[in-house]
Amino acid sequence: MHSFKKLDIWKRSRVFCTSIYRLTNDFPDTEKFGLVVQLRRAAVSVPSNIAEGTSRRTKKDFRRFLDFAIGSLYEIETQLLIAQDLNYIDSSIFNTINSDLQSIIKMTSKFKSTMK
């Protein structure tokens, strides 16, 4: 189907995942097994599902994995909002990372719509 390493959505989500890891390094130690692990797991899930989807035989299967990636992106959005509510992220950092997140959501959704 596709070489995942050539896909812009995979490249962007991989960089975004790294940003989430760096961001969560500054979270309180009490969140080590809470928001930190949840955010990181969801962030890793996005490029992983895109990559796994490229190995599937049909477009329908690939679209299903893109759905999983999109679900993880919305999970990240929710967790970032909670982190902001708890004052773990200031507004300017949240706005920057959320802008990247929204861009990846749009790109992935648009790419998925071309897979019909």
Delimit the domains of the chain by residue range. 4-113
User: How far is the C-alpha of 53 from the C-alpha of 2, rounded, in Å?
Assistant: 9
Class for the domain spanning 4-113: mainly alpha
Q: What is the pLDDT of residue 70?
A: 98
Q: Which of 50, 98, 100 lies closest to 78, judged by CA?
A: 98
Two structure tokens written together for 102? 């929204």
> Distance between CA atoms of 98 and 95, rounded to whole angstroms?
5
- In sequence order, the 6+-apart residues with CB closer than 8 A to the CB of 56 are 1, 62, 64, 65
In this prediction, residue 2 carries a pLDDT of: 67
In three-state form (DSSP H/G/I as H, E/B as E, the rest C), the secondary structure along 23-73 is: HHCCCCHHHCCCHHHHHHHHHHHHHHHHHHHHCCCCHHHHHHHHHHHHHHH
Q: Over the stretch 69-109, which tens digit does the pLDDT of each residue have?
A: 999 999 999 999 999 999 999 999 999 999 999 999 999 99
* CA torsion through residues 93, 95, 98, 100, sign: negative
Global pTM value: 0.93
